[in-house]
Structure 1
């Protein structure tokens, strides 16, 4: 008897909830992020197989299959926009139904991450979009201080997206952010491994590449390919198509010393021939945080670093200009607390990496500018 009376009440409550949701959605005006200021894509949409791919369609069948598959993830792609809304929504559909990984949360793998410029012009975190389904419609933030400001929304790191929209209350202005100043429009291009790809940041804005982009106030192109950052010639040929402010090569975690010795110089020479004035930063691998206790990991760091340093010196001796070098040992700090698994940084590890990468890149760009 009790269940018979409760059933109509349950249906009534569900109907009321659905109706309220529908009304709430009607009060939100949605904008496709492709109509705003999209950054982090190195090729025009017409050259891509899908709008949020990281490599052009012509790369399929040219780069190795795992590299192509990983290039469909939207790591590093972000959108800038301006609004005076007091609440901001996001609606996005990811490509893969694996929203999280064992060592990386869904917010980093498949979420979106919102920043805003403060009164001093610095980027400050505002909100993260927590994915719960393949298609998500989330209120990112409500109750914002009134005022027009610029926002930056990062797309997922380890998932692709088929569509992304930003929502504001109906009738509120939202428009593309202004173009960057001429001196900062060219992107910093990172080529690397799962770490560059973003593993294992808690949210898309916390990978070191994104932190560097905010600190230097420049766009970033993230060409990190998990397990597959191996200085491939096919990637070198694509890198030179990008009108970059600087190239950062950070591939050692995926390479043996023999591979480093064989591939570093051809990669650098390919870039330098096509882009004679663009600085190139060669980065050693971060130390495995268990290397004090695991000799094999310690040897792996030592041998690959020695091979990279030797290649760097040969290039300098041969007169190659615009090269700089970043050592790996200090990148995660000296307390062993910067990773989730001994290899992939946590947010703490990425912050420490950014503390070294940002000034090194800034100095490399400045030094090259002085010689022009």
Structure 2
């Protein structure tokens, strides 16, 4: 079915601003992608409302961050503006800029591009104040009907976001991705710390490489493989589960929690692939013996759990080693742990071929 323009479906969805001369569209009308549940307390939260009574408070707070969410649309406007209202006044962090924490990131889909992705970056913006902000993401586009997407903040929440386009230009919803999404559960690294901008988290990069919707369920410091989270994840119907939680667990909890977590998913979804990801190599661990020992021990426990499950007959279970995910040159993190854009590109390039073979 060919998509219809929003204006034709309901002209009331358009708000014209006499000061800017632009037509403004609420992102909710255009359609938000990357959300696992629709029954949320806030429009751009990542867990359902019922999860508030099921998960720990830090997890619930982090679920209000909009990591992995984006709005897609088709427009012939030469100018793309945006105005957004933030949830938290913490706009940046010492090791992560406001563009990544609280900013927005614009991409264009270009089927003629060669290489790993048919998407190309167009523009970014960061907040100047709390809570309300407005910015131009790009100007002087070609005026053709371009398919665009705007990634939302990684470490802040969105209360409202509107897209501004030139008056009387085409605005349509893009074709719906009918393929099951990829679900990635884990830590701050999954959530996107410390990407320079929202489109550079490794789940977002892989989504563009594969042209698939990715549901980002990274919870900074709190990806701890609790059974309550496994129950929630089991409600989704993805093409594959990626479990990348080792950085937030010690070796004992990796040993005790991995098999129950996987078994919950497997009991509900007997045939969906589950991918276990080792702890990345921390960039100084070759020279700091305590860090090296801890990381090796954690990965050995994950491997042992994987081997036990395979021996028990659990099928469609895969394993990704962590020693080459961010490279061995020591140049891919901001603090030895959290990847920079370079580190996230390397992670995406390492994991994407494995996921591609499963889709």
Task: Give TM class, smaller chain.
Answer: over 0.9
* One of 52, 57, 61 as aligned partner of 1:69: 61
Q: Secondary structure at the match of 2:357?
A: helix
SS in 2 for 1:364: coil
Residue of structure 1 aligned with 2:203, choices 176, 192, 209 = 209
Q: Which one has the largest radius of gyration?
A: 1
TM-score in terms of structure 1 length: 0.89
**CA-CA distance at 1:23 after TM superposition:** 5.0
Q: Which of 238, 259, 268 is the equivalent residue of 1:274? A: 268
Offset, 1:357: 1.1
Cα deviation, 1:143-202, whole Å, max 9, x if unaligned, reads 11221110011000000010011110111121211112x3xx211101000110100000
- Determine helix, strand or coil for the equivalent of 1:339: coil
Partner of 2:75: 83
The Cα shift of 1:364 comes to 2.9
**Equivalent residue for 1:139?**
136
SS at match of 2:358: helix
Shift of residue 280 of structure 1?
A: 0.4
1:110 aligns with 2:102: yes
User: Could you tell me which of 214, 220, 225 is aligned with 1:226?
Assistant: 220
Partner of 2:46: 54
CA contact (8 A) 1:193 1:251 kept: yes
| CA deviation vs aligned residue, 1:116-143 (integer Å, no higher than 9, x gap) | 0114261110000221112111111111
CA–CA distance in structure 1, aligned partners of residues 41 and 112 of structure 2: 39
After superposition, where does 1:117-128 map in structure 2 within 5 Å?
117-120=109-112, 122-128=118-124
Q: Contact conserved, 1:94 with 1:110, CA < 8 A, in 2?
A: yes
Partners of 1:97 and 1:281 in 2: CA distance: 36
1:37 deviates by 2.7
* Separation of aligned partners in 1, 2:281 and 2:248: 13
The within-5 A match list for 1:1-372 is: 23-25=18-20, 27-44=21-38, 47-120=39-112, 122-134=118-130, 135-180=132-177, 182=178, 185-365=179-359
Query: Do 2:101 and 2:156's aligned partners in 1 also have CA atoms closer than 8 Å?
Result: yes
- SS where residue 60 of structure 1 aligns? helix
Gaps (5+ residues) in structure 1?
1-21, 366-372
Q: Give how far 1:342 is off.
A: 0.3
Within 2, Cα distance between the matches of 1:245 and 1:169?
Answer: 38
Q: Which has the higher helix share?
A: 1
Contact 2:107–2:122, Cα closer than 8 Å, also in 1 = yes
SS at match of 2:95: coil
Q: How far does residue 309 in structure 1 lie from its aligned partner after superposition?
A: 0.3
Please give the secondary structure, in 2, of the residue aligned with 1:237: helix
Between Structure 1 and Structure 2, how many residues are aligned? 338
Give, in angstroms, the shift of residue 93 of structure 1.
0.7
CA distance in 1, matches of 2:31, 2:62: 24
| TM-score normalized with structure 2 length | 0.92
Corresponding residue of 1:18: none
**Contact 1:322–1:364 (Cα < 8 Å) also in 2:** no
CA distance in 1, matches of 2:111, 2:313: 45
Separation (CA, whole Å) in 2 of partners of 1:94 and 1:196: 21
* Distance in 2 of aligned mates of 1:93 and 1:175: 23
Query: RMSD of the TM alignment (CA)?
Result: 1.0
SS in 1 for 2:297: helix
CA displacement 1:214-247 (0-9 Å, x = unmatched): 0000001000000000101110000011111110
